[in-house]
Amino acid sequence: MDPETARARAIVEESREAVVVLDDRDRVLLASRRARQAFEGIREGERIPPALLSGDAGVIPLVVPYEVDGLRERLVYLSREGDLAAYEELRSGFTAAVSHELRTPLARLLTLLETATLPGEDVSDLIARATSEVGQITELIDEVLFLSELESGARVVSLGATPIRPVLEETLDGLEERAARAGVALGLDCDETQKLAIRPRMLRVVAHNLAENAIRYAGPGATFTLAVERVPDGALAVVGRDDGVGVEEAELARLFERFYRADRARASRGTGLGLAIVKHVVTQAGGTVMARGGRGRGLEIACRFPVGP
């Protein structure tokens, strides 16, 4: 495959849109991962289901015809009725949530600055605490922007195969000091030969957020381990597990929601976006995430990635 063809295939494959490339006989030449996941019957080399082009079954096609080397092809964007309204509702809710989350550190920052003007106060301590609040606000803004880039497709998640162990080692080494302060031991269980079709930066994001979640919430005396395991269908799972205080089973399904924190973690300085980012990265790489555990039984988060073409 020549570089131009490979580049075009990668761009279509990683598109956040449900998009397909058709020849003049309605055969699928290329299809994005999202198109294959969202609509039945899309297979390269086969004709696209007629209902997807006719507008039936609630599907809205946007067709862009073009010609290349004398061949007539079409770029087709597929969406469902109501997608725009749902997107606007989601965007509105996300904006409101970000505004709410920013109010707390901003209010603390304002209080600290006002207190610093009073006579007899320890100004150096107040400035240090104010600086910490600025760091919290910066972290929140950075993670919101990163999550937005993931959702818009501006960040490409999976291109090429990445050796897993060096990335996980580097990530855990960078968190060793913070983990020690929190009383959480870090461990790694990963074979030297294992690889994933994911960019090193994105694998580092997943590992960092899994480990940081345990450092924040597992509790002193807990042990957190990053493990890479082969699952029965041949896929690989990057698993973060700790033996800490855990969460209620009823809360497990909500851990990947933006800004959600279990009751015991609501006073934490975390942004509430770490596991939401993990889910988006894994999903864009074609994988799935699952949380297991319970109160007093620790927490395990398994990120399952497909392997192979």
For residue 130, give the CATH number of its domain. 1.10.287.130
pLDDT at 130: 84
pLDDT at 92: 53
261: tokens are: 């924190």
Give domain status of residue 106, yes or no. Answer: yes
Give domain status of residue 62, yes or no. Answer: yes
Q: Are residues 76 and 89 in the same domain?
A: no
Our count of domains for the chain comes to 3
- Give the span between the Cα atoms of 217 and 262, in whole angstroms: 10
Residue 67: CATH number of its domain: 3.30.450.20
Q: Are residues 103 and 42 in the same domain?
A: no
pTM assigned to the model: 0.54
Q: Are residues 14 and 108 in the same domain?
A: no
Structural domain of residue 90, as residue ranges?
83-152
Give domain status of residue 211, yes or no. Answer: yes
pLDDT at 67: 80
Q: Are residues 75 and 104 in the same domain?
A: no
- Give the span between the Cα atoms of 301 and 269, in whole angstroms: 21
| Domain boundary pick from 95, 121, 152 | 152
Q: Are residues 281 and 191 in the same domain?
A: yes
pLDDT at 84: 52
β-pairing verdict for 195-196 and 162-163? antiparallel
Q: Are residues 203 and 272 in the same domain?
A: yes
| Domain boundary pick from 152, 185, 203 | 152
Q: Are residues 146 and 185 in the same domain?
A: no
Q: Are residues 266 and 185 in the same domain?
A: yes
Q: Are residues 135 and 233 in the same domain?
A: no
Give domain status of residue 50, yes or no. Answer: yes
pLDDT at 150: 58
Q: Are residues 189 and 296 in the same domain?
A: yes
- Give the span between the Cα atoms of 293 and 214, in whole angstroms: 13
pLDDT at 272: 65
Q: How many CB atoms are closer than 10 A to CB 143?
A: 19
Give domain status of residue 210, yes or no. Answer: yes
Q: Are residues 223 and 275 in the same domain?
A: yes
Q: Are residues 195 and 254 in the same domain?
A: yes
Give the residue ranges of the chain where pLDDT is below 70. Answer: 1-5, 16, 56-57, 81-102, 104, 136, 139-140, 142-160, 258-272, 307-309
| Domain boundary pick from 46, 80, 114 | 80
* CA atoms within 13 A of residue 71's CA, in its CB half-sphere: 11
pLDDT at 305: 85
- Give the span between the Cα atoms of 223 and 203, in whole angstroms: 21
Give domain status of residue 157, yes or no. Answer: no
